Structure 1
Amino acid sequence: MVYMKALITGGAGFLGRKLARALLDEGHEVRLLVRKIPSEKPAPGEPAELQSMPVSYQLGDLADEASLEAACQGMDWVFHAAGVISYNPKKADLMYRTNVIGTRNVCTAALAAGVKRLVFTSSTAAIGVNEDPSTPMREDTPFNARRLGLAYFDTKFDAEEEVRAAVKKGLDAVIVNPGSLMGPGDTRRYEKGYVGLIYKYKPPVRFHGGINFVDVNDVVKGHLLALKKGRTGERYILGGESLTYGALIERVNKLIGRKAPKATVPRFFMGMLAQGIRGLNLFGVDIHMTPELVRQVADWYLYVDSEKAKKELGYQPHSIDEAVLSTVTWLKGLGRI
């Protein structure tokens, strides 16, 4: 096997760390773009994954074009996994600068450095939403989320447009669209993640709406498959299981041996809640939630079809059960739940 040199933006993050380990296990050299060098001893609750890996670091930022040029020099591959995920409307500008302009800057630097391939980590949010759960979205589904007013959805789609523009200029790039990642090690979320919320707060009711959940380890494998087998300029959905929020609550409770709630919150109540939040926002009350986000829980489905990735890449996602159980064990070990 020919060993390569790979740069990962967002390499200190949840997905980036696991991707770095997978590349190292294959014998490749790994460089991480970071805003600060990780300390030799991680802070309490922080994973020690980076400290145990023989990686190199490049200080930089997605807004710093010079640092990106330096990071890409000598690299064969670039995995652009950095980005901002938020539903807070006050972070819309930050998401545009990071997700869109930052992606443009990475592509420009990769082109200038002559990298062999770039893999861009997008999201199923860049595909849109479906109100009919019986019709999962595919790679060619027209983007329909602009109307929702959620900057995260918009900026991930616009970031893909930056990648496609770079492909036209000669960059060999492929796009992957993971579902909602599950698994231990996501230090930015802790109990705020789906599993932690369900375990800790024991929701007494179920909800409409749903999303596609996927084991982070399957997504890592999907990135490597896209690198080796993906067609230039194409996007590949890396999904797992599409579940309603109610079904996820039931699944988590079953796996940990707890009874699941039977009652489901009526849609009209969620609509009233959405209007109440809109009113609070108008009066300047910052609760970091939007009416659109409430509607997502009540009415929207981010259900996707990974058939293209399965056929073209050999992608084989697993049940999320192991990811749920390992997340519970990890959170318990940290004393977070």
Structure 2
Amino acid sequence: MPILPRSEAKKGFSMRCLIVGATGMIGRNLAMALLDEGHDVAILARKTSDLSFYEARKSQPVTVFHGDTREPESLTEAVRGVDVVYHMAGLTQIWIPNRPDRIKTLYDTNVFGVRNMARAALEGGVERFIYTSTVLSCGSARDRDVVDEESLWDLWDIPSHYLRTRILAEMEVLRFGARGMHVNILCPAIVFGTEDYQPTESGKLLIQIYRGRVPFHFKGTLLPSVALADIVAAHRLAATRGKRGEKYIICDRSVPMTEIIEAVEEVAGHPLPKYTLPKGIAPTLLPFISFFANHARKEPFVTPTYVEITTRPFHFDHAKAQRDLGLTFTPALEAVKAATAWLVEHGYMDGKQG
């Protein structure tokens, strides 16, 4: 049964949706959008998860199932009677220290967790399984003008376990799709949005820029970007219009880093550093950055993977999402400004929060 338009959902025709990863920025906003349309929303969360966001909204209750995607036996009850599973849980650390325990946790969560959830959904009779991946799983435009969903992945030379877990997770989802479940993979760019209470990587970037702690970037750096409202809409539309087994790029455009900084400047009301370094020196810097990152007590802002990715060209074609899902895109810089203003208003820029 597809998710119905709001007018029909309010008449009593609704679906039961399970959100895995509902405590993150996208998950929270998706839950609220589905509830507003009259759908029955359940979430899967660990017992240690912070559920205060949902507890404060008693007028829009959700059903909470305590479980862990790494523990298959904890998933059976959560998928019972569910029409659509939205799987957006996962670790989003582009780079992690080269430590066996950290690497194991990443694969256990991002690959085996997805496998366990997809298997539970298939065996539980769930009709649709929508997995949230990353636009980086589509590759870069290093040897082509633009990247689409059919492009051959060309980032194998970047030593990132995170990227590999996303590729492997997509393979798991498609494997269960081949067994009869309707699956879709959504590949969002960097998401900028408000209500970023536990700042996401994009929120942390805006905070660092605002505080003047991004003194330089590599010339020509592009950040594939999308508004929070658009990725939420993409998830809702995928449950209605997503074609079986298809993958969708959810990206407005790749925004030059200089434009991101200028957008933050506009909100800040004062100039910020915009120094650039030539991309050609990146290979020389990488050994030093790698050594520092692996020995620092706290993960540094500039990591080896950050350098590798920001020196690659990224241009994505979102025509398929527009055509199949009917998705329209908000100008990315509007989302950047709104996110920055929200972080300022809520005290994150001056250190009162976060």
**TM-score greater than 0.5 by the shorter chain:** yes
Structure 1's consecutive aligned runs of 4 or more residues displaced over 6 angstroms after TM superposition are 37-40
Give the aligned partner of residue 239 of structure 1.
251
Give the aligned partner of residue 292 of structure 1.
305
Q: Distance in 1 between matches of 2:298 and 2:344?
A: 28
* 2:187 counterpart letter in structure 1: N
Q: Distance in 2 between matches of 1:279 and 1:205?
A: 20
Give the aligned partner of residue 45 of structure 1.
none
Equivalent residue for 1:75, pick from 52, 70, 82: 82
> 1:178·1:237 contact (CA, 8 Å) conserved in 2?
yes
Q: CA deviation at 1:250?
A: 2.4
Q: CA deviation at 1:260?
A: 5.3
Number of residues of Structure 1 aligned to a counterpart in Structure 2: 328
Give the aligned partner of residue 105 of structure 1.
116
TM-score (norm 2): 0.85
TM-score (norm 1): 0.89
Equivalent residue for 1:137, pick from 134, 139, 147: 147
Instruction: Check 1:49–1:216 CA distance in 2 against 1; reply closer, same or farther (3 A cut).
Output: farther
Equivalent residue for 1:33, pick from 44, 52, 57: 44
1:289-334, Cα deviation, whole Å (9 max, x unpaired): 642322222x113332111100111110111233223322322233
The DSSP-based 3-state class of the residue aligned with 2:65 is strand
> 1:7·1:77 contact (CA, 8 Å) conserved in 2?
yes
> 1:29·1:55 contact (CA, 8 Å) conserved in 2?
yes
Unaligned runs of 5+ in 1: 43-47
> 2:189·2:225 contact (CA, 8 Å) conserved in 1?
yes
RMSD: 2.4
Q: Distance in 2 between matches of 1:79 and 1:17?
A: 12
Instruction: Check 1:246–1:233 CA distance in 2 against 1; reply closer, same or farther (3 A cut).
Output: same
Matched, 1:165 2:172: no
Give the aligned partner of residue 68 of structure 2.
61
Q: CA deviation at 1:285?
A: 5.2
Matched, 1:23 2:34: yes
Q: CA deviation at 1:253?
A: 1.8
Unaligned runs of 5+ in 2: 1-7, 350-354
Q: Distance in 2 between matches of 1:92 and 1:245?
A: 30
Q: CA deviation at 1:266?
A: 2.2
Q: Distance in 1 between matches of 2:216 and 2:249?
A: 31
Give the aligned partner of residue 14 of structure 2.
3
The DSSP-based 3-state class of the residue aligned with 2:211 is helix
Q: Distance in 2 between matches of 1:37 and 1:25?
A: 27
Give the aligned partner of residue 88 of structure 1.
96
Matched, 1:180 2:190: yes
